[in-house]
A and B are shown apart, each in its own frame.
Chain A
Amino acid sequence: MKELNTNTKNKPSPIDEEKRDFLFITTAGLAIAGGGAFAWSMIDTMNPSKDVLALSTTEVDLSPLEEGQSLTVMWRGKPIFIRHRSESEISSADNVSVDDLPHKETDESRVKNPKWLVVVGVCSHLGCVPLGQKVGDSKGEYGGWFCPCHGSHYDTSGRIRKGPAPLNLEIPPYEFVSDDIIRIG
């Protein structure tokens, strides 16, 4: 044990700047890491929960749909438009020069089987649901869908042709599980 030295005992010991910096940086670093982890886990509670994610696939039986008829199903809370297209609808979608389109996509790239068009029924402008699914609905100038909110016209391939919407109707992920049944999501 060191001998008691009253002289040095009452003098404040010199400040060790390096040690202080080290302590400050490690403490602040840990506090920020801990605070960040806490903040993120709390914010993450607002992301889609497990029960919401569980609703993310839908199976649809297409067999009752006659040519020319449409069907609307829900997927992730959004309408999915399914149309059993007629020969003339398919050819009118096919016979457009892609260069003339605002959003350049061929009809071929938008279908798995040309008879069936499957699109998300949400206008790419500001999210309204376009008309054209029901008998008697306006189908717009291009025979597909017409969004009444701000006047966007979609063709028989669900592509934007006229109006403020910038993009074609989105194609949801789907696959044919058999000839007449598709699984969306």
Chain B
Amino acid sequence: MDLSHLKNKIAIVGVGYTPQGKIPGRTAASFHIEAVRNAIEDAGITKDDIGALIVYRHFDAIAGDYETTAFTIGEQLGVSPAIISQEHQCTRGWLFNSIGLLNSGLVNYVVISYGDNARSGKRSYVKELSGGKATDELAAYGDLSTMAKYAMLARRAMDTYGTGPDVWKEISVAQRRWAQLNPIAAMHGKPLDYEGYYAANMVVDPLRLLDATPSSDGGRAIVLTTAERAKMLKNPPVYIRGIGSANRPVSPFKLDLEDDRNAATVSSRMAFEMAGIEHKDVDACELYDCFTYTVEATLRDYGFFKPSEVKEFITAERLGPGGELPVNTSGGMLSEAYYMGLTPVAEAVMQLMGRCGDRQLGKVPGSKTPEIIVCSDNGGVFQSHATLVLSRED
């Protein structure tokens, strides 16, 4: 598939943040609309410029909240975009959809948003039960978590490649080191060592509490437009040099570790080929890290290391501040905040715009100013995947 005609044609031009961490007394929608307001202000456009509003999937309303839909968010922003949509479940189509919409000329600006009150609302993420009754077959086996589905692939990788907690602790510690440089990260001021990692409770063996992303209140939004328009806006544009998208819509239990149809593998090949880059050209990775193991699996499936070399490759020194391959420089979902794919994408954009303060690559001792950052967005249990190769230069 030749996607080279799309290279550097679309740019990300604005990022919107909200207060994050534990922010009680607010609806999920309030975080979406605050993030969108801040993103369009950051991009220097008005709300009437929003041609398409694409909202991430939303879990069930919690804590007395109402359902968070794209209609609600549109209403609360007072906008009437040509396109309004919401990703159902955990599909990751927003990237290609945005590019299609912008290239078609139907819309000039696309806004993507995510928001939740998961932390204050104590979201359980158990979808196998509703009101204490099974919603499908899985509850009959006591399988009540997404975490177990990831844990099974992690276990298989332990047996096949020799990975395990001694590798995942490196990811956990590396990202926690980054969080110490990011004042808005949930784990800022809470350093972690290996002992602390091992001391965390086992939740679904082989995964511990610190292998999993904690939930957050807050939201995040980004603005995309064409390269021509991007050049006239106030922020330095961050160009989409390569994109990949792939799905493996099978039951998570049927995913095989060694399968070249895996979504991350297919998606990354597409993106690297379109961008015309090799792994050595990548200055940093901002990866969807619902679990530590997801970072390992993504780097492996993207071809950054050979499966058998996992222990040598994944070290806190390499991935952390000053390392050879910085990964999740905001702290990631594990140590900054969980806003689905917008945690990694927003951080990559901010790094390439040079707006990252103490954690800015190029300023962190031993790091270089980034030209190319690779991002991943992962949905379901490795079932839906998008890859972005973002670049400072067009």
A complexed with B:
no
Binding site for B on A (CB under 8 A): none
Binding site for A on B (CB under 8 A): none
